[in-house]
Amino acid sequence: MKKAPARVGASVVATAALLLGDFSAASATADAHFVPEATKIRWNGTTATVAFLEVDVELDANVTTISTRVTAEVDAVCTNEESTLHIHRTASSLRTSDYLISFDGTVEGPATVPLRVQGLGVSGYTCVVEHISMTAELEDFRTGATLTHTT
């Protein structure tokens, strides 16, 4: 009678291992992390470029998969003679790509993400952008490393 529970326990462990993946890969990359000081965001109004550096990446593969979500928050002031409008718009976009892992365990990118903020112009008004705030959220799907960087 004690063997039946052991079989049930073994099948639960096997099922959990299949669902959760290989624990040895996760433990091998436990030190992987993005370097905040190496993260930079540039935006030209249509495309955001995020420079990043991930270090201490140890995987059996020579590539890893990183998602980059970029959010732009833009404040503009639009005037038409005595009328003034204050506009606040937000837009975000996500791109996922594979990146090569260097022999020294680093992953460098730029990640390019298409990003446009709609509604910053008003017909008949002259609009000037006063403030732009950019946020990049990086996540390495294989190592679990994450970073949120705001400029």
Quote the pLDDT of residue 71: 98
Q: What is the mean pLDDT of residues 48-72?
A: 97
Taken in order 21, 24, 26, 27, the sign of the CA dihedral is positive
Residue 2: its H or E element: none
Strand-pairing partners, residue 64, are 99
The residue assigned the tokens 């091998």 is: 28
Domain range list for the chain: 1-30, 31-150
Residue 42: its H or E element: strand 40-43
CATH of domain 31-150: 2.60.40
Token duo for residue 112: 């390019």
For the chain, the average pLDDT equals 86
What percentage of the chain exceeds 90 in pLDDT? Answer: 79
